[in-house]
Copies of this chain bind each other. A is one copy, B any other.
Amino acid sequence: MGKVDSIVLLNTGHGKGKSSAAFGVMGRAWARGWKVGVIQFVKSGKWKVGERKLAEHLEIEWHTLGDGFTWESTDMDETVAKGKHAFSVAKEKLSSGNYDLLILDELTYAVSYGWVPVEAVVEAISNRAPKTNVIITGRNAPEDLVEIADTVTEMKKIKHAYDQGIRAKKGIEY
């Protein structure tokens, strides 16, 4: 493996802005002519989210849990199988050398839900192509991910509009 010239960012915590910040960086990376890929580990029910529309407009590659997945097994929960499949897609892209930035949105849930062992995530990140920067988002990041990340931010909720009965706003939160 060559010299690593990339960083790993981790946005965790219970506050807002974890994914928004990742998509803000997606825009910067695009502006610099980088090759960017996005893999979403939790599929939004809100078809189609604003960030995905933006990515399509910018011709940024986008994969969502279940994309390209063919259901064959009968002895595994389908969501678990989709989660494992999404991770195998991520793993292949991490090592491919084809990306300047990969956004693994809400990857931490794939670990918390037990779809993917944290060791496999650590290994895939550690064995990534040297030039590939990575952003991981999601609550409750396991300590092993904090360990291997270069920059870790906890988005801490001080106050949330939800708590005052204000529903999630299209255009702001998705």
Contact = CB atoms under 8 A, between A and B. Distances in A.
Stoichiometry, as copies per complex, reads 2
A26 B100 CA distance: 22
Interface of A: 7, 9, 11-13, 15-32, 34, 49-51, 53-54, 57-58, 100-101, 133, 146, 149-161, 164, 166, 169-174
B171 A133 contact: yes
Contacts of A57: 31, 58
A23 B16 contact: no
Given A9-B16, A151-B16, A29 B171 contact: yes
Contacts of A173: 25, 28
A174 B50 contact: no
B156 A149 contact: no
A32 B7 contact: no
